[in-house]
Structure formats: structure tokens, C-alpha cells
Structure 1
């Protein structure tokens, strides 16, 4: 028989459920379209609990779209392959929320800008070329562009083929850039 959860464990589980619901709501509606009530409804909690756990919708948004922790240099090439694969398939809710909101919300734009700069720096560190930072920026922007074109703009040529095929087409180009 399972032992009953402690109060702290129940609180942590509720907070995690709210965060997951927020990622889905922000992904579906963007930061401006999502509401605390919608997040609470999706999480199965009272709206006051959303604010109790996260303080504000904006605070929750910032946590919901926070990028993954910094990578080591050895992890960057594998991470790049995984990012490309993920961005061409289904977007995680946090990524969808950030992308949907980055052009209308200064906070989302700031989070995305910080994330992209971090990616560029990590990629540039893996190359000894003089122009590694420019090459890394082109690569990062290319992945962002493919993500937007496939998932938000519905570019037919990117939607009608398998994500694996697209990866095969672009991976040699990406490798040459770095």
C-alpha cells in the first residue's frame, strides 16, 4: 500500500500540474490569450492556487518557457541534432508558448533572445573558425525559421515530408556551417 503523500509532496505535485497546464495554455493561446482561469481549469485547481504558487500570470509564463540548462561543449553537437529533430516533429508546450508569444510580448521576446544568444554562444565554442559566432547565429536562426515555417506558418513543403527527411537534407549543411 502506498504511503500517503506529505503536505509538501502534495504541494509540489500541484505546482508541477499547474506548470504543465500553463505550458499547454501558453502554447495554445500565447501569453496574451492565456488566462489564469484557463490554466487553473486545465490543471484541475482553483485559480487562486495558480497565483498562490506562482504569484502572477507573467511569473508563471517566465517559468513555463524557461529554456533547458546550459550545455557543455561536448553536448552541443548531439543537442543540435536533437533540437532539429524535435523542432521538425511536435513542439514541446513550453517552446510552442514561447514561439507563439515572442512577437507580441516583450517578456517572451526577451526570453527568446536570451535563449538564442545562449545557443549561439554554445555552438560557436565548438568551432575554431574566426567567424564561428556568425556561423552559429545563422544555424540557430535557420532552425528557428524552419520551426516557425513548419508549425505556425504551415509551409506545405515542410509539412508534407517526414521530419527525418528534412533532417537528412539540412544536417550536412549545418555540419558545414560549424
Structure 2
């Protein structure tokens, strides 16, 4: 029984370290975060961070893992899912997402993690779409959502200031539906 409680305490400590790392990396990026700052945020000795994760790079790779999102089948489900994702992106970012986006252009581990995650999102979305250009439409959609994340939460474009959450989602609906259904302005008779 002692081993189980020791294992449970170890797992709890590791999770406290991961959560503190997410917060620190999200706020300060990879370069601005230290093992000491993570340990202080977790309320533990810095040596425990190293015992659990071995290095700052290994901890970063673990802390910024984005959760998998399961897509439903069909284009309607894909559009609904993407609008849910946008609803989340229009709010505050989860710490692991903020850390990953903040560091992806300067830290190879972050770039690799983000690339893998986004490639997976593109492939999952493409499987739920019809048409020869489904993969390209999925690529544009995933890239657009990343762009929204960057321009709203990091560049803080002023146009976001007066826009309500509901208005942003309403405006995004047509964009998302056109990308997921594959209807093109030239095909529908709408002006280009």
C-alpha cells in the first residue's frame, strides 16, 4: 500500500510541475522560463523538476502537448466542431496552447509539437470532408484558426476589441461552412 501512495504522490507532484510549466511557458515563452521559476510556481524544490523530467526541453515537450480532439463524421459535424474550436479560440487560451504558440517560431521542440498536432488536425478534418480538394480545404481551415489565435491573443489586433464573442462566431460561420462544404463562389453563382 505504501508503494501505491508513493506512486500517487509522485504522479501528483509530476502533474503540479506540468501545470506550473504550462503557466510559466505560456506567460514567458521557452526562453523566459527557468526550472527555478517552474519549481517556485509548483511549490517544490528545483531538483524535483529535474528528477521528474530530466531537462527543461523534456518538460516543455510534455507540458505543451495539446489534447486530442475527436472529430465527428460528416461535413455538418465538421463545421459544428470547427465553430466550437473557434468559440474556444475567441476566449482565453489554455496555458499549453499559449506556451506552444508563443514558442513555436523559436524553439525546435515547440515547432515539432505544433507541426505534428496541426498535421493531425488537417488529416482528421480532411477525412470528414467530401471532394478532391478536401485536404486543401482542411489545411486552409486549420491554418486560418491558427492565424486567428495569433492575431487575437498575441498580436492583439485592435479589430478584436469591439467584437463580441457572438459576433465573431456569427461572422466565422459562413467562412467555416464554405470551407467544409466545398461550395465555391464561382460554382454557386455568387460574385467573386
Quote the residue 2:19 is aligned against.
20
TM-score, L = length of structure 1: 0.92
- Unmatched 5+ residue regions in structure 1? none
The equivalent of 1:11 in structure 2 is 10
CA distance in structure 2 between the partners assigned to 1:78 and 1:38 by the alignment: 40
Deviates more, 1:63-72 or 1:25-34: 63-72
1:35-70 Cα shifts (integer Å, max 9, x gaps): 100000000000011111111111111111112236
C-alpha contact (below 8 Å) 1:76/1:122 kept by paired residues: no
Aligned to 1:85: 87
Q: SS of the counterpart of 1:116?
A: helix
Contact in 2 for aligned 1:27/1:93 (Cα 8 Å): yes
2:154 maps to which residue?
152
Separation in 2, partners of 1:143, 1:70: 14
Report the structure number with the largest CA radius of gyration.
2
TM-score where L is the length of structure 2: 0.85
Residues 124-143 of structure 1 mapped to structure 2, 5 A cutoff = 124-143=126-145
1:35 is aligned to 34
Aligned-residue Cα RMSD (Å) equals 1.6
Distance change in 2, residues 1:76/1:23 (3 Å)? farther
Which whole-Å CA distance do the structure 2 matches of 1:72 and 1:108 have between them? Answer: 24
Q: 1:102: Cα distance to partner?
A: 0.4
Q: 1:115 to 1:51 in 2, by over 3 A?
A: same
Q: CA deviation at 1:103?
A: 0.8
Q: Is the 8 A contact 2:82 2:176 kept in 1?
A: no
Runs (4+) off by over 3 Å: 72-79
Structure 2: 5+ residue stretches without partners: 181-192
Q: Give the distance between the partners of 1:145 and 1:43, measured in 2 at CA.
A: 32
Secondary structure of 1:160's counterpart equals coil
Matches within 5 A, 1:93-104: 93-104=95-106
| Match status 1:177 vs 2:179 | yes
CA distance in 2, matches of 1:98, 1:141: 15
Cα distance between partner residues in 2 of 1:77 and 1:165:
17
CA distance in 2, matches of 1:159, 1:102: 25
